[in-house]
Amino acid sequence: MDLFGEMNSAAKMHKVARMDPTVMNAAATLHAATQGGAALLGAEAEIGSIAVGKKADIIMLDMDQPHLTPVYNPISHLVYAAGGGDVIHSIINGQVVMRDRQLTTLDETVIIREMQRIGEVVRKMGE
């Protein structure tokens, strides 16, 4: 799942459903994906925003990309232009789990192999 793609789709689906381009703007969409999501889970005291005492879940994006240049509105760029492939660093609960696009806590090769194996099992179930 790519949260950036999900935000993009959610914002556009609301606009189409209401036939109103002002519905679900970028700021409202980002809020729904962060603070709003945390509130729905009843976890707003722990996640959803960056604050003292909350889990430190932070990503850094490589904004030096043609599809992200120029930046007029950073929030709009996050919702409508950025993607998961733009993430270069990821910190979850204060622990660096990706640095320079390389996983630091998991073996990506092992994960891919296991997912391929599971995919083959699922494919055979459908035969």
Per-residue model confidence as pLDDT tens for the chain (127 residues): 799 999 999 999 999 999 999 999 999 999 999 999 999 999 999 999 999 999 988 999 999 999 999 999 999 999 999 999 999 999 999 899 999 999 999 998 999 999 999 999 999 998 8
Q: How high is the pLDDT of residue 1?
A: 78
- The backbone torsions φ and ψ at residue 84, rounded to the nearest 5 degrees and listed phi first, read -55, -30
Tokens 């296991």 sit on residue = 114
Q: How high is the pLDDT of residue 36?
A: 95
| CB-based contacts of 84, cutoff 8 Å, min separation 6 | 2, 3, 4, 5
Q: Residues 58, 79: contact at Cβ < 8 Å?
A: no
30-65 as b/e: b if 16+ CB within 10 A: bbbbbeeebeeeeebeebbeeeeebeebebebeeee
Looking at domain 3-126, its CATH class is: mainly beta
Q: How high is the pLDDT of residue 56?
A: 81
Q: Residue 94: name the closest of 65, 119, 58, 60 by CA.
A: 58
Predicted TM-score (pTM) of the model is 0.81
Q: How high is the pLDDT of residue 22?
A: 94
- The backbone torsions φ and ψ at residue 102, rounded to the nearest 5 degrees and listed phi first, read -115, 130
